[in-house]
Structures are given as C-alpha cells and as structure tokens.
Amino acid sequence: MERATEKPRRQDESAERDRVNDYDGFAEAYAAENEDGLANAYYDRPAMPALAGEVTGRQILDAGCGSGPLAAALRDRGATVTGVDSSAAMLALARRRLGDGASLHLADLRDPLPFGDGAFDDVVASLVLHYLEDWGPTLAELRRVLRPGGRLIASVDHPIAAYGLQDPRPDYFATTSYTFDWMLDGRPVPMRLWRKPLHAMTDAFGAAGFRLGTIAEPRPDPAARDRHPDQYRVFATRPTFLYFVVEVPRDRDS
C-alpha cells in the first residue's frame, strides 16, 4: 500500500486512536491524493519498476496493491500481475483501474496467501512491510509463493525518516510502533506504522531464506521539480524511502 503525499505529523505512540490504518474508510480520498503526489507518482512508483527491470512475460504478485497504480504500470510493461490487499474498498478501486480481467484478492499479508508454492516470478511490496511488527510470517509466505530465482522487490520508510524527525528520538535499535495523522481531503486520518533498524530488516530477509541482492536509495523523478517544487527540494536531499531487492536462491545456489 502506497503512502500519502505529505509527510505526516508524527505523534507520541501512546496517543489514543479509535481506528488506525482504516483504508476502507478513506480509500477514495487516498487514491485521489496519490495520483499525482510526489511521494508516490514521482518517487516510489518510478523506483519500483526501475528496480524490477524487464518484466515482460513474468508473473508478478503485487502484495498490498492498493488502488492498483503499480500493478497497472507493471502490466503495461508486459507482466501478468495479481494483486492482493486487505482493504475491500481499495480493491474496488483497483478493479475499476485494471478491469474485470485482473486477478485481485482480498487478503491480509499477515495470513497465508491463497496461492500455490512457486506461483510467481516476482513479488512487489510497495510501502507495505512497515505496517507489520513482525515481518517473519509475511516474508515466509512471500518466499513460498516465489519460484527459485524469484525476487521480492520491497520499499519501506527509510530509517532517517522513521527515526530522525522526532523529538525525543526513539531507540534506533528497538522495533517500535508510532502513530501520526495523514491529512486527506481536509481531514486527519490516524495511522500506525512500525519502525525497525536497518540490520533488523536485512536479518528478517535472511531468516526467511532470501538472499540480499540490492539496497537502493533512489531520488524522486526530476519531473517533480516543476510540479511540486517545495516538496522536491526536501525529497531530493533527504531519503524518505528505502528499497530492497532480495532473491530466492536456486537449489544449486543454496
């Protein structure tokens, strides 16, 4: 699931919240906000296909597909894309975008996925894993549905964003949750994410049986300079997202 354009106002994690991460409640506003937003349209969405490279003919699972813009981009480049998301409202928007022929499934990434072993060549997980406290079960499932040699391409909040913007700063070495508000359609919506140190992320990939291929810190598309000049100056000089490409070893490489 992709992030809203504006960097949120982060709050103390003990703040009370009635409902958090309620994508069903703000799906339309979220999707509209992100169609041309810098963080998604000019940062994460260009970065993910660039890391995927040539995808013609590949079977790709979009894990946390949201309203489907990344799935559409990969399909337009020749991939066969299957999407899963935990929000029925976001999947309805994805179906509107991708058409009835798209394979879309309501599924929580903390639960077993409705696919057979080795069903996909690649999995893309765009700004999704940081919703999870424990990556272990999810990464094990994503590895299961990947073929030997398959890749998981994932983006998450960069540690400098998750840790460096708060006062007092949290313990970098601890896995902790934090809450904040996104402003969508003029109203605040409460969110909760989990921050991890870099070594905890790489350790989680390794424990799930992945081999680390790439860690990347891309910059936004320069086209955002004219459309979002103030934000561009911030995003182009301070990393907001961190990217991984990890692989399922082939038998001979294990």
Checking if the pLDDT of 12 tops 60, the result is: no
pLDDT on residue 160 = 86
pTM for the complete prediction? 0.90
Q: Where are the domains of the chain?
A: 9-253
Region 190-219 average pLDDT:
96
Q: What is the pLDDT of residues 30-55, one digit of tens each?
A: 898 888 889 999 999 999 999 999 99
- Strands of the sheet with 176-184, listed across from one edge: 9-11, 176-184, 187-195
What does the pLDDT look like over 111-133, one tens digit per residue?
Answer: 999 999 999 999 999 999 999 99
Given this structure, which CATH class describes domain 9-253?
alpha beta
Asked if pLDDT for residue 3 goes beyond 80, the answer is no
Instruction: Specify the amino acid at residue 202.
Output: T
Residue 140's pLDDT band (boundaries 50, 70, 90)?
very high
Q: How confident is the model at residue 6 (pLDDT cuts 50, 70, 90)?
A: very low
